[in-house]
Amino acid sequence: METISENACFGGIQGVYSHRSASCDCDMTFGLFLPAEAQDGPVPVLWYLSGLTCTHENAMVKAAAQGWAAEQGIALIFPDTSPRGEAIADDEAYDLGKGAGFYVNATKAPWAPHFQMYDYITKDLTELVFEKFALDASRQAITGHSMGGHGALTIAMREAGRFSSVSAFSPICNPSGSDWGRKQFEAYLGSDESKWAGHDASLLMAEHGFDGPVLIDTGTKDQFLDLLKPEILAQAAAAKRQEMTFRMQPGYDHSYFFVSTFMEDHISFHAEALYA
Ligand SMILES: N[C@@H](CCC(=O)N[C@@H](CS)C(=O)NCC(=O)O)C(=O)O
């Protein structure tokens, strides 16, 4: 692992690091905020998965999360959204290829050799951060924005028992029924839709639910509402009688102005579960 930068931040450290990912077979970069408490021992962790076109950097500089995390003594991890490098396959569309890994393990060409983002998050980066930093693996929560909200919800439901709580800002809720999902799942996973179901938050909610609290915020003026389909997730959660706070926030759009506005709520929500 290589340290790219470390800056003092709210009494802790905002770092950026790069490392070799075995799953993605390339070098990857991530951000990690460590609160001051990490100097005395392992602290709880909130994973933040980003959306389309993002790197590790967008949320790190625009989500206004570090101050609230410092207040709660919680670390934040900001992974990248896809493999990176000259030799890595890409598409000219912003929503496929680099910046658009969708948190799945691709099985189809040309994506399969590097687009292994599910394993990258849940295995490679997980092993690295718990080995190298003062983080408490028994206290983890997960959140994300848009494609990253899809990643947070699906990973939380699939990795049962690992996360105390899950939240999402304007998540893609039903990718197998949306143009933000169908194109990418077909490219990465192939045309057999039965292989998509395990990466669709609404279908996972209907079948498994989540053993813990869920918080979802989406803006009523989100320009991508028809692609996000929050109502499909709400219906699945209601049918499952899932413990969930589901909010449509009046006037807010899809941007980081929306994410940063509700970041305090999300970090407080996770802190309650992480310190329960
Ligand atoms: N570029 C796309 C939208 C991409 C987009 O809105 N990405 C969101 C996540 S889905 C984002 O966070 N973008 C980066 C940023 O705002 O910093 C478009 O104009 O249609």
Q: For residues 19 and 1, is the Cβ–Cβ distance under 8 A?
A: yes
Q: For residues 175 and 182, is the Cβ–Cβ distance under 8 A?
A: yes
CA 223–ligand 1 middle distance (angstroms): 11
Q: Which of 139, 146, 155, 270 is nearest to 213 (CA)?
A: 270
Q: Ligand 1: which atom is nearest the Cα of residue 170? A: 10
Q: Ligand 1: which atom is nearest the Cα of residue 145? A: 9
pLDDT digits (tens, 9 = 90+) for 127-139: 999 999 999 999 9
Choose the residue to mutate in 48, 49, 50, 53 for probing ligand 1, maximizing ligand atoms within 8 Å of C-beta. 53
2-274 folds as Rossmann fold (3.40.50)
Residues 6+ apart with CB under 8 A from 90: 97, 98
CA 155/CA 173 separation, integer angstroms:
13
CA 194–ligand 1 middle distance (angstroms): 28
pLDDT digits (tens, 9 = 90+) for 158-178: 999 999 999 999 999 999 999
* % of the chain residues with pLDDT over 70: 100
Q: How far is CA 150 from CA 136, 157, 213, 226, in A?
A: 24, 11, 16, 15
Q: Ligand 1 atom 12: the closest Cα is on which residue?
A: 51
Structure tokens given for 213: 């609290």
Give the pLDDT band of residue 21 (cuts 50, 70, 90): very high
CA 231/CA 235 separation, integer angstroms:
6
Choose the residue to mutate in 48, 50, 54, 227 for probing ligand 1, maximizing ligand atoms within 8 Å of C-beta. 54
Is the backbone peptide bond immediately before 113 cis, with ω within 30 degrees of 0? no
CA 53–ligand 1 middle distance (angstroms): 6
Mean pLDDT for all residues in the chain: 98
CA 227–ligand 1 middle distance (angstroms): 13
CA 41/CA 51 separation, integer angstroms:
31
Residues 6+ apart with CB under 8 A from 121: 47, 49, 79, 103, 151, 155
Contacts of 258-261 spanning 24+ positions with Cβ under 8 A? 258/169, 258/170, 258/217, 258/219, 258/222, 259/59, 259/62, 259/63, 259/145, 259/169, 259/170, 260/62, 260/63, 260/64
Confidence (pTM): 0.98
CA 17/CA 60 separation, integer angstroms:
13
Give the pLDDT band of residue 71 (cuts 50, 70, 90): very high
Q: Where are the domains of the chain?
A: 2-274
Question: Is residue 42 packed enough to be buried (19+ CB in 10 Å), middle (13-18) or exposed (0-12)?
Answer: middle
Q: Please tell me the predicted confidence (pLDDT) of residue 209.
A: 98
Q: Ligand 1 atom 9: the closest Cα is on which residue?
A: 51
